[in-house]
Amino acid sequence: MTEVEQTPALIVDRATALRNIERLRDYSQQHGLRVRPHTKTHKSLEFAVEQIKAGAVGLSVAKAGEAEVMSQVTDDVLVAYPAIDGPRVRRLAALAVTKTIRVAIDSPAGVAILDDAATEADSTIGILVDLDVGFHRTGVQSSDEALAIAQAVARSKSLRLDGLFFFPGHLRDSVEPQISKLRQVDAIVLDAIDALERSGLHVSIVSGGSTPSLYQLHHLKAITEIRPGTYVFNDMSTVAGGYCKIEDCAARVTATVISTAVPGKCVVDAGTKTLAADRNSVRPESGFGYVVEYPDAKIVRLTEEHGEIDITGCDHSPKTGDRLTLIPNHICPCVNLQAIAWTRNLDGSLQPLRIDARGLIS
């Protein structure tokens, strides 16, 4: 089979995804950075395996359930999330009996609950202290706070202090190195390292990253590993940021034109329940994705099952029944919406793509 029977359908081009994975491998090798891809984007063992084949030292996840799934293909999982409530810590502590499990946390309460769970399970959990380097979502606010958590970890029974963690979500929307922001990140990280090491604590891992900041990260002095997610498939936000080109977008939605009744528009069978409602993070005014066959078209409105495309700028018009190829603004929630998806193999054939970690609660 080379075409999907039913639409809307997410199809991942394996050749493009492998090229994206290789590009990251080359960058990381050039700069001596370890790679720990965030699997939130693909949630699939198929692509996790490709990332590991390309030299990833382990995988990043957001959920305990994702850690369980991804530990099928790696022995080394970082929970890049403050997983500090009862059910999560119990599941992670159990997993840590046989796997290397690390958790990034920003609270003394997290130390206590993770230590209790690991002690109960007779396992050891590695801890990275989460620093707020400017995105202001999670992360401690000072090297004193980082030190307090690190010392609590050092005093704990069943936790191991492994290092520091940050998410530079504010480094984006610019393919050029954002030198002043990078300097601030560096200062915060180096300050924390200094505080810990002066207290006799060893920082072996400094884990940071995102796709928009990806190719700036080697400018950071102390970083040891990077955690991009979106880079594996890319999307219109990464294109708009200048981090990749349209042809690097591996995951695309095939949709069918189901109405052309309203003048100047066509309507496809992909709305927010297929593409997700995310606006382009760099160019929010650009609409809800890109129509490959009609580069001058604009996806002007999404409702749940309808994608409305303004075609007034196009020199010809789609007809009902035509299939169009859409690239979403944000591929991560789009993948998460698909109960069924497809990989296009190198020979052009399609095979089902399992989104193994889709829809897990915690």
Chain residues in the site for a copy of itself (CB under 8 A): 5-9, 40, 62-63, 81-85, 87-88, 106-107, 109-110, 113, 130, 132, 136-141, 145, 169, 256, 258-263, 265, 267, 269, 272-273, 276-278, 301, 303-306, 308, 319-321, 332-333, 336-340, 358-362
**DSSP label at residue 140:** B
Q: How many CB atoms lie within 10 A of CB 39?
A: 31
Least distance between a copy of itself and beta carbon 260 (Å): 7
b (16+ CB within 10 A) / e for 131-145: bbbbeeebbbeebeb
In the bound state with a copy of itself, the residue whose beta carbon lies nearer, of 167 and 243, is: 167
- H or E element: which one contains 35? strand 34-35
- Closer to a copy of itself by CB, 314 or 331: give it: 331
| Nearer of residues 264 and 295 to a copy of itself, judged by Cβ | 264
**Smallest gap, in angstroms, from Cβ of residue 76 to a copy of itself?**
21
Alpha-carbon separation of residue 249 from 2, 46, 106, 193, 290 (angstroms): 19, 18, 34, 37, 11
- 44-46-50-55 Cα dihedral, nearest 10 degrees: 60
Least distance from a copy of itself to the Cβ atom of residue 129, Å: 10
Q: 54 or 128, CB closer to a copy of itself?
A: 128
> What is the chain's alpha carbon radius of gyration, rounded to the nearest angstrom?
22
Side chain identity at 82, as an amino acid letter? P
C-beta contacts of 71-78 below 8 A and 24+ residues apart: 71/95, 71/99, 72/45, 73/45, 73/48, 73/49, 74/48, 75/99, 75/100, 76/36, 76/100, 77/101, 77/102, 78/36, 78/102, 78/103, 78/104, 78/128, 78/207, 78/227
Least separation, in Å, of the C-beta of 231 and a copy of itself?
15
In the complex with a copy of itself, the residue whose CB is nearer, 54 or 257, is: 257
* Nearer to a copy of itself (CB atom), residue 81 or residue 215: 81
> In the bound complex, what is the minimum distance in angstroms from residue 114's beta carbon to a copy of itself?
12
Cis peptide before 8 (omega within 30 of 0): yes
Q: How far is the CB of 247 from a copy of itself (least distance, A)?
A: 25
**Residue 30 beta carbon to a copy of itself: minimum distance, rounded to whole angstroms:** 29
Distance between CA atoms of residues 74 and 90, nearest Å: 20
83 or 314: whose CB is closer to a copy of itself?
Answer: 83
